Structure 1
Amino acid sequence: MHGPVLPGWLLVALCAATGSYCLLRMRSGFEGARRAAGGEAVMGFGMAAMAVPAAFLTPPPWMLTGYVVVFGGTALRALWAARGGAHHLHHVVGSLAMVYMALAMTAQGAAGVHGGHAGHSAGGVPLLTGVLLLYFAGYVLSTGLRLLPGAAGGVIGGVPAAAVSWGARPELALACRLSMGIAMLAMLITV
């Protein structure tokens, strides 16, 4: 990821922590929650790997190709799962955004070095980047609104929220989705 080093490392830490929690959420007793958590864990760890500052590690071309393959496959899997729920469409958009950013990173890397310093040309398509920024800004706002007190209620599947294990708490899943949405916005801004 191109941009300042400290925010890049903070983004890596946020995405890795979110991916780790999503792995823990996979122990939930609800099958749908496990599937969603697995896709979100892949997204969190992939975002963490992609957010490593370019000043520290410039990814080799094979790694960028790997991002395209992994997130292209994730997008296809989410598209297949979208038959059962609208949330999977968000996973499709997120995975395709990761493919887009990997391709943009490849284009930025192909710009090479000009006059002794790295090229600073944009690697992405400004219109597509803008559309993705608008989508994720809307997603972050709507997810944040659902986290407001009283929005979710105190009952989860007919069980009082206090009796549900921390790995199956919907507000924690929403917090993970919110943090990944914010991270996606931060990554898209650098494209």
Structure 2
Amino acid sequence: MYFHMLPGSAWPGWLLVALCAANGVYGLLRMRSNAAEQRRGAGDEALMGFGMAVMALPATVFTPPSWTWPGYAAVTGAVALRTLWVAGAGTHHLVGASAMIYMAMAMAASPGQHTGHGGAGVPLLTWALFLYFVGYVLHSGVRLLPAAAASSRAVGWGNRPELVKVSRLSMGIAMTVMLVTL
């Protein structure tokens, strides 16, 4: 949906949909892991991945009615509250859920326009979230580099810490792109 403003081109939106949906599927795989630390936030990450995939659908394919966005924000808000409740869940999940609520409410305020700002420029909150996710992506990317040299034991897909890092990094990139186009 966010790439509606690119004239004649829906492929960036589809790439973002595929990236987010793949992260949702990986979150579901992690939920089946035998390691408790892998399962802890996997359901929330799966929900966020699928939610972002829906938000990223090109407007030519699917434009939900404006009344769906407050419901979307409520579900994402429930995820944010659960994140606060669950011990060990970092503030990154809370910021991500809050960013999704913000984007859903912006889309509800201006259906079909894909901007929540009107003609007043980019709001401070959009900039703050954008800068947070750019910093998160850069920090996560640097932290991922040493993991490439680690030994590759035969473990299940749900128990691979380097894939968790890649999943979170790609979701951070997707969130950054979505904020830029908001």
Task: Tell me if both proteins adopt one fold, taking TM over 0.5 as the criterion.
Answer: yes
Q: 1:44 to 1:103 in 2, by over 3 A?
A: same
In the TM superposition, structure 1's runs of 4+ consecutive aligned residues that sit over 6 Å from their partners are: none
Post-superposition CA distance 1:16-68 (Å, at most 9, x none)? 11111111111111223112111110000000011111232221123212211
TM-score between both structures, scaled by the size of structure 2 = 0.87
Structure 1 residue 170 and structure 2 residue 161: aligned? yes
Offset at residue 108 of structure 1 (A)? 1.7
Offset at residue 186 of structure 1 (A)? 0.7
1:137·1:185 contact (CA, 8 Å) conserved in 2?
yes
RMSD: 2.2
Q: How many correspondences in the alignment?
A: 175
1:20·1:41 contact (CA, 8 Å) conserved in 2?
yes
Post-superposition CA distance 1:95-114 (Å, at most 9, x none)? 010000000111221xx7xx
Distance in 2, matches of 1:178 and 1:121, equals 25
- Structure 2 unmatched runs, 5+: none
Q: 1:152 to 1:89 in 2, by over 3 A?
A: farther
TM-score between both structures, scaled by the size of structure 1 = 0.83
Query: Which one has a bigger Cα radius of gyration?
Result: 1
Distance in 1, matches of 2:129 and 2:102, equals 10
Listed as ranges, the matches of 1:133-172 within 5 Å are 133-149=130-146, 153-154=150-151, 161-172=152-163
Offset at residue 178 of structure 1 (A)? 0.7
1:25·1:34 contact (CA, 8 Å) conserved in 2?
yes
Task: Name the residue aligned to 1:63.
Answer: 68
Structure 1 residue 75 and structure 2 residue 80: aligned? yes
Partner amino acid, structure 1, of 2:130: L
Task: Name the residue aligned to 1:106.
Answer: 108
Offset at residue 120 of structure 1 (A)? 6.4
Structure 1 residue 14 and structure 2 residue 19: aligned? yes
Partner amino acid, structure 2, of 1:103: M
Post-superposition CA distance 1:127-182 (Å, at most 9, x none)? 0000000100111111111110358854xxxxxx5043232010001110011000
2:107·2:114 contact (CA, 8 Å) conserved in 1?
no
Distance in 2, matches of 1:190 and 1:95, equals 18
Q: 1:93 to 1:150 in 2, by over 3 A?
A: closer
Distance in 2, matches of 1:119 and 1:181, equals 20
Q: 1:77 to 1:93 in 2, by over 3 A?
A: same
2:109·2:116 contact (CA, 8 Å) conserved in 1?
no
Distance in 1, matches of 2:69 and 2:178, equals 15
